[in-house]
Amino acid sequence: MRARDFTPESAEISVAYNEQTRWIHDEGQPASPDQLQVEMEVEIKGTRTSPQEIQAMLIELEIEED
């Protein structure tokens, strides 16, 4: 896990999202929550709402091509 502008207090961070959260692929294409996969790398931009939670404004999925 890489974090900028804060140090997580534990190894687990919860990410909350809502209808205002923008989802994209790493190439800028639109994405959606149903495309998340176990161990997929994601980049989250948002607001820290507690020591272990971020309210996401942008979630970028790192899609690996086979």
SS3 label, residue 24: strand
Residue of 57, 51, 52, 62 whose CA lies nearest to 28: 62
Domain boundaries defined on the chain:
14-61
Per-residue pLDDT of the chain (66 residues; tens, 9 = 90+): 556 666 667 778 899 999 999 999 988 899 999 999 988 999 999 998 988 899 999 999 997 765
- Report the alpha-carbon distance of residue 35 to residue 47 in Å, rounded: 23
